[in-house]
Amino acid sequence: MALIDCNFFSEALGINTSMKVILPQETTNQIGMTGKKAKGLYPVLFLLHGLSDDDSAWIRRTSIERYVSEMGIAVVMPQVHRSFYTDMEHGQRYWTFISEELPDVARSFFPLSDRREDTFTAGLSMGGYGAFKLALSHPDRFSAAASLSGVMDIAGFKSRSGKPYHDYHLIFGNKQIAETYEDLFYLLEKRNQESGPKPMLFQCCGEDDHLYEENKRFNHSCSKTSFEHVYTEDVGRGHAWDYWDEKIQDVLNWLPIEKGE
């Protein structure tokens, strides 16, 4: 695999920003590694980080590079700071960046497919919210999305354990979030009522996770729709990287792409 660190100027944000990119590479001389290079343009996974992380988190804390080495798939990991993948009320336009600018920039730099069938997204915690928001907002672009211990109830995230989330006002201001396009429950129901394409959804959460109850509720909502939806919950597992390192392997095996020989 080739790991590339990209710094570039974002027109949407008006700032210099960054992303990490894993590209397929055929190899016979890397110890303990094999590689597959896709024919033509590469399928692409937009892999999103959590609230306390950055674009390096998946590389540093999991073996994602090794896991995708035989799949012939590119992985794009952008930096959005603590924005919840949103055009912030008091900050930068990270939703415009992630949903509009980033795919175009990544495809201008690298040979990435723009076919819906080859385009996927996944993320953990805040990134799980971002991945489902991307796929449910643009079902014509994404064929699959995965949320690992995701923040599913963004309206309820304003307060956790009786204490207000301190960045919430910077992101959303005083806006009503429930039943808007920021609300995953609203997006799920709206897309279910439409006749267009629907992304496959993968959702998991540990039973000891502070986000467990809202993940259960979102799963229940999915069960009442026509979405193809996979849900797993795991006993004794919390909000931790050892869990996400395991589960991203399940996500990669689940993605609807041709696996390596």
Hey, which residues does 123 pair with through a beta bridge?
48, 147
Burial 68-95 (b: 16+ CB within 10 A, else e): bbbbbbbbbbbbbbbbbbbbbeeebbbb
Does position 261 have pLDDT exceeding 50, yes or no? no
State yes or no: pLDDT of 152 exceeds 50.
yes
105 three-state secondary structure: helix
Nearest Cα neighbor of 150 from 99, 213, 102 is 213
Burial class (CB in 10 A: 0-12, 13-18, 19+), 159: exposed
Task: Kindly write down the DSSP assignment for every residue of 115-160, as one continuous string.
Answer: -GGGEEEEEETHHHHHHHHHHHH-TTT-SEEEEES----TGGGGEE
**Structure confidence at residue 174 (pLDDT):** 87
For the chain, list the domains and their CATH numbers.
2-254 (3.40.50.1820)
141, burial (CB in 10 Å: exposed 0-12, middle 13-18, buried 19+): middle
| Segment 14-34, tens digit of pLDDT | 999 999 999 998 765 555 556
- The residue among 255, 251, 165 whose CA lies nearest residue 204 is 251
Overall average pLDDT of the 143-171 stretch: 81
CA distance linking residue 68 with residue 121, whole number of Å: 14
Which amino acid belongs to residue 154?
I
pTM: 0.94
CA 223 to chain centre: 21
Is residue 170 within 8 A of residue 158, CB to CB? The reply is no
Higher pLDDT, 37 or 15: 15
Q: Once rounded to an integer, what is the mean pLDDT over residues 189-193?
A: 98
- Does 180 have pLDDT greater than 90? yes
> Alpha-carbon distance 78 to 66, whole Å?
19
β-partners of residue 146 are: 122, 202
pLDDT tens-digit map of 233-255: 999 999 999 999 999 999 999 99
- Give pLDDT, residue 67: 96
pLDDT for the residue 31: 56
- The Cα–Cα gap between 83 and 99 comes to 13
Phi and psi at residue 121, in whole multiples of 5°? -145, 150
Please state which of the ranges 93-97, 138-142, 158-162 shows the lowest mean pLDDT.
Answer: 158-162
As a whole number, the mean pLDDT across the chain is 92
Q: Is 193 helix (H, G, I), strand (E, B) or coil?
A: coil
99 with 138: CB under 8 angstroms? yes
Q: Are strands 163-164 and 159-160 parallel, antiparallel or unpaired?
A: antiparallel
Q: Quote the CA–CA distance of 152 and 147 in Å, as a whole number.
A: 9
Do 120 and 143 form a contact (C-beta atoms < 8 A)? yes
Over the stretch 74-131, which tens digit does the pLDDT of each residue have?
Answer: 999 999 999 999 999 999 999 999 999 999 999 999 999 999 999 999 999 999 999 9
